[in-house]
Homo-oligomer: A and B are copies of this chain.
Amino acid sequence: MNPPPNGPPDRRPGGRTARVRAQVLEAVRAELGEHGYEGLTMEGVAARAGVHRTTVYRRWQDVGGLLADVLDAAGEDDWAPPDTGSLRGDLTALNGEIHDSLVVRPSIPQALMAASFRSARAANAQQRLWEDRYQRCEAIVERAVERGELPPDTAARPLLIAATAPLYHQLVLLRTSSEPHLAAQAATTAALAPTAGAFARPAPDVEP
């Protein structure tokens, strides 16, 4: 069915609207990688994307809108967490992916995290992306429970946070230099801790 005249824009994948969005978001990532948040402008993005700047203003309003859409687009992929056959293997591979995405230069994830301190729209979109990613990663814990590697009452989210937080902490906030064992070490800790009783879901009304 063809859209009626003056109807909604063509949003089919491969349609004009989708093509313009892909060009603009690619330009945002490129500008962000080269110049950081400071150098990101509506005009620069429009010029790089080869799209009229009135289109960029109408659809994304401001730099925060562009960043939010880059983050939302990142959540539209079909990424799935690694499936290596063991909890420790999955967490180590996951941390390897995180590590590589944070140490590559320029690192778009690093630039987006920095930008999320500048724009409320970017911060909200970043939060949605984190939530989506951690939710997908819960499959790692579910599979480990099915294999009998973890007790059935294991709380997935705290385990995943424990496994991944040290990498983000060291590479984004502490800005320590990247050491090859960072990814594996944090994964191993999180994989070993449950055998000592960590990550059991607390019974209600019990002191932590």
Contacts and interface: CB of A to CB of B under 8 A. Distances in A.
A189 interface: yes
B198 A188 contact: yes
A185 B190 CA distance: 13
A139 to B, nearest CB: 19
Contacts of A41: none
A180 B208 CA distance: 9
Contacts of A185: 158, 208
B208 A181 contact: yes
Contact of A162 (B114, B117, B130, B186): B186
B165 A169 contact: yes
Interface in A171-203: 172-175, 180-181, 184-186, 188-190, 192-193, 195-199, 202
Interface of A: 113-114, 117, 123, 126-127, 130, 158, 161-162, 164-166, 168-170, 172-175, 180-181, 184-186, 188-190, 192-193, 195-199, 202, 208
12 contacts: A162-B189, A164-B169, A165-B165, A165-B168, A169-B169, A181-B202, A185-B208, A188-B208, A189-B199, A192-B193, A193-B196, A196-B196
